[in-house]
Amino acid sequence: MLYCLCKNNDDNTYHLFECKKELNGCYLKSGKSFCKKETLSNSYKHECKFTCEDIKEARIKIAELANKGEQICGVCVSTLYKNE
């Protein structure tokens, strides 16, 4: 599974989405965030901190961003650790 960390322009909080790689780049697999509070569309350019990262890289990058003070949805982040 690949992950994207993006935000809706109406909110300052980043949410985690499942993404997929295609020939033309990285796209949202589902427009619904893991916490189910945000919905994004591939037809609109969103502000993303990272796209199409595996679970290990997503964890590292989210930790770095949180340490820099970025607002990241805790419910979304918890999905990266729930199966451990």
Quote the CA–CA distance of 32 and 16 in Å, as a whole number. 9
Q: What is the average pLDDT score of the chain?
A: 90
Q: SS3 for 72?
A: strand
Q: What is the DSSP string of 3-64?
A: EEEEE-TT-S-BEEEEEEEETTEEEESSSB-TTSS-B--TTS--EEEEEEE-HHHHHHHHHH
Instruction: Examine residue 83 and state whether it is found in any structural domain, yes or no.
Output: no
Query: What domain range is 25 assigned to?
Result: 2-78
Instruction: Examine residue 84 and state whether it is found in any structural domain, yes or no.
Output: no
Instruction: Examine residue 53 and state whether it is found in any structural domain, yes or no.
Output: yes
Encoded tokens for 31: 């427009």
| Domains: count for the chain | 1
The pTM for the full model equals: 0.89
Mean pLDDT of all residues in 31-59: 89
Higher per-residue confidence, 83 vs 9: 9
